[in-house]
Amino acid sequence: MKIALLGAGQMGRAVLADLLRNPAVTQVRVFENHSAHLNEIRERFSDARLLLYRVDVRDRPSLERLLRGVNAIISCLPYTFNPSMARLAVELGISFCDLGGNDKAASEELALAREAQMAGIWILPNCGLAPGLTNILVMHGMEQFDEVDTISIRVGNLPLEPRPPFYFQLTFSGERLLDEYTQPVEIIRNGQLFTVEPLEELEYVDFPEPFGRLEAFLTAGSLSTLPRMLLGRVHHLEYKSLRYPGHRDMMRALFALGLAENRLIDVRSTLTYRDLLLRRLQRALAFRDPDAVLVHIHLSGRRGGQTASLLYTLVDRYSEAEGLSAMTRATAFPISVIGQMLAMGQIPGSGAAPPEQVVPREAFLEAVRERGLEIETRWEILSGPSGD
């Protein structure tokens, strides 16, 4: 199978390494506009299956010509490019998946459902960690209950040795971080869909050392399509980000000063306050310290006449052997698995959908576990048929 990889930054290079570990992958075409990233690939990988192209993805004629003949396209580009890349994939008749991270971009891609179905391909946005792996775990849990009452999702990417004052480091897009902290949040409460403010509903959650007590608060984007998909099927659904205590209040203080506003600094500048904040955060939080990803997904409901709960947990740490951060592993491996499933025709049907709706869940989870993401499950029976 032949796979095209759009974007060769940190996440793209991790996907590439995973693709090249599969002998069934006969060719990987990498498209990247930055020569430094391509040079790093040349230094790290020596594989006859690898083809490198320095191409700006906005150069549609070149991209269209070079993509022909591949079985699937994996996008590790910034989310702003994904809708146009998905439309190109439909025109070329090639299945497409991306890391997602923005609800508006994902909605534009999902609107291609009819065209993708007619082309006999899949368009799958949101195939990273959250949304992506977490949403698939939610739906995997849903199918094991007769009725689900509550779903709570807690996810965090944390440095193992946090540095004050933010106790956080950027291992993904700074733009995505600001979106999560400033955009409206959709949740389900008492069976109804609500839109609430981010950074609210602070709680504290205890984890084993070295993490200890962490704070959790509402953030936007990581549920993506789940609230509307599960409306009418669950009573409560929410997603909160995990951080070291004090991080939320530090960010709220910056926002209270207006530093997240899309307002020009002055009439002589093209910079907004948000632009300035983004630049400063990218500098201040640009550590590359060893990190961890924590995933804690709890479902409760009725199963076989009993009240029961199901807990999925993942604690993944920086891999020194691979030179990969935990965030990179937990994001790159899911999309690599899905891209390879697309290329091999292992996802029945066609159209446009989030992965939790159409990706074979057992096969997917088996594949990510084989890559070292040790997802654990634990059932607890809360009461018997009589409610005792």
Q: What is the DSSP letter of 183?
A: S
pLDDT classification of 385: cutoffs 50, 70, 90: low
Chain segment 188-215, per-residue pLDDT in tens? 999 999 999 999 999 999 998 899 999 9
Considering the chain, what is the average pLDDT of its residues? Answer: 94
Q: Which domains does the chain have, with CATH numbers?
A: 2-128+328-370 (3.40.50.720), 133-324+374-382 (3.30.360.10)
User: How high is the pLDDT of residue 266?
Assistant: 82
How many CB atoms are located within 10 Å of the residue 267 CB? Answer: 5
Per-residue pLDDT of 253-311, as tens digits, reads 999 999 999 999 987 778 999 999 999 998 889 878 999 999 999 999 999 999 999 99
CB 215 within 8 A of CB 248: yes
Instruction: Tell me what pLDDT residue 175 has.
Output: 86
Q: What is the pLDDT of residues 1-45, one digit of tens each?
A: 999 999 999 899 999 999 999 999 999 999 999 999 999 999 999
Class of residue 210 by CB neighbours under 10 A (exposed 0-12, middle 13-18, buried 19+): exposed
User: How much is the pLDDT for 350?
Assistant: 97
pLDDT band of residue 331 (cuts 50, 70, 90) is very high
> For residue 245, what pLDDT band results from cuts at 50, 70 and 90?
very high
DSSP code string of 48-100: TTEEEEE--TT-HHHHHHHHTT-SEEEE-S-GGGHHHHHHHHHHHT-EEEE--
Task: Decide if pLDDT at 89 tops 70.
Answer: yes
Give the pLDDT mean for 210-230: 94
pLDDT at 173 over 90: no
Q: Which two tokens stand for residue 40?
A: 């790093």
Q: Where are the alpha helices (DSSP H) in the chain?
A: 10-20, 35-44, 60-67, 82-92, 103-110, 113-119, 133-142, 174-182, 226-230, 247-256, 273-284, 326-343, 355-358, 361-370
**Residue-level pLDDT at 383:** 79
Residue 158's DSSP bridge partners are: 292
- pLDDT exceeds cutoff 90 at 323: no
**Whether the predicted pLDDT of 139 surpasses 70:** yes
pLDDT tens, residue by residue, 58-82: 999 999 999 999 999 999 999 999 9
Q: Is residue 386 scored above 60 in pLDDT?
A: no
